[in-house]
Structure 1
């Protein structure tokens, strides 16, 4: 498969906001043909049975179920399916298990947009990807990260953050708020800095971890 052939991607995650973030990351990317969403293990299996997908972006924990236990079953439906584990868990044992199951990669959910797009392209073209910042450690994977308070954001920054979470790209946000794209980028940098997060997925993770709403 080469870069000239757009691919069909299925996202398996029990949080729709993650799918919205992925949509934002891959918005208008030439390598993507269709991008679909499944919120449970059963729904993933059903969609794989009904459609020909090239890549599955798979959350590690879906509704309390370890999705690694279902990798072989998913490959039984589509033999040449490429699978990237996409998780907030940064733990050597989990990474090793994903590798032992011959998945095509393991990415953290705070991966920035450029790295995320590059990883997708690499896997589609036959490579494997493992996040460069993964810890080679056996420490517990569910450490609670410390985040700044959402109240540190200005009213405008909260408005913009909500639009990011909703899946709007920079131009759409600029149009909705009647500001320039450069101003949008400046606000985004300030939001990420104040909340101590890395990119769109870091923002999504912050919202999930702190049960925040805008």
Structure 2
């Protein structure tokens, strides 16, 4: 309950930074993380962990030799993720600074990015800046997963983001719809 209240407070304060009104459901978590080959990926990054529901699933699946960190702008949400996942490194910063953060963490090319950012609420310039920072750091064959709410797909920013994915990745697919999420969502699954 505390998690949902914190999420709503953050959404009310920063609706363009927190794109949801409730934490992601277990079904959406599975759709996001089960697509990755956790036995082979070693350099993993999460953008926008929020309350840490994806982070928790990532930490449970990480290979013992893997490096992982999450980037969260909200200090309150970062604290919640740290409380939920004490083993996870949560960095309070912007995903636009990915290259510098990777350098500071001793992480070379990224194998996987799991993303909870509200892309459809971002201006085109911010979408481009984050995407370019990620693509520059991602290895060939690297994988990227992010979710979208069905109502956001029809908005201009949502359509623009879908086009950006198709221009940035060799493969772009979609998961099944997770109807038991508030609101219903699907996962973009992309391969560089």
TM-score grouping bracket, smaller chain normalisation: 0.3 to 0.5
Q: TM-score, normalised by structure 1?
A: 0.33
Q: TM-score, normalised by structure 2?
A: 0.35
Structure (1/2) with the larger strand percentage: 2
Q: Who wins on radius of gyration, i.e. which is larger?
A: 1
